[in-house]
Chains A and B, each alone.
Chain A
Amino acid sequence: MLERLGMSSADELFADVPADVRAELDIGCGMSEMDTVNKITQMLGKNITAADMPCFMGMGSYRHYVPATVDHITGMSEFYTAYTPYQAEVSQGMLQALFEYQSMVCELTGMDAANSSMYDCATALGEAAKICGSVSRKGKVFLVPEALSNERYSVLRNYLIGTGITISRYGFDKKTGSLVLDEIKAAVGKGDVCGIYAEMPNVFGCLDKNVAKIRSVIGDTLLVIGVNPLCMSIVKSPGEMRADIAIGEGQPLGSRMGLGSPLLGMFACRQEHVRRIPGRISGMTVDADGKRAFCLTLQTREQHIKRSAASSNICTNGALAAVAAVVYVSTLGADGMFNIAKKNMERAKSLMSLLSKVRGVEIAFDNTHFNEFVIRLSKDASKVNSELLKKGVMGGVPLKDHVKGMDDCMLITTTEMHSDEDHKKLADALKEVL
Chain B
Amino acid sequence: MATIEPALPPVTERSNILRWARKNLFGSWYDSLLTILGAWFMYWALSSLARWVITTAEWEVVAVNMRLFMIGQYPLEQAWRLWLWLGFLVFLVGNSLAIWGKGSRYSVALLLFPAVLAFAFPFGDEPRKWLLILAVTGLIGWGIGRARPEVLKRSVIAGWVISLPVIILLTRGLSASETGFAPFVKTNLWGGLLLTFLLTVVGIMFSFPIGVLLALGRRSVLPIVRWFSVAYIELVRGVPLISILFMAQLMLPLFLPEGWTVDRVVRAMVGITLFSAAYLAENVRGGLQAIPKGQFEAAEALGLSGAQTMIFIILPQALRLVIPILVGQFIALFKDTSLVAIVGLFDLVGIAQTVLAQPEFLGLQREVYAFISLIFWVLSYGMSYLSQQLEVRLGVGIR
Q: Do A and B bind each other?
A: no
Give the interface of A toward B (CB within 8 A). Answer: none
Give the interface of B toward A (CB within 8 A). Answer: none
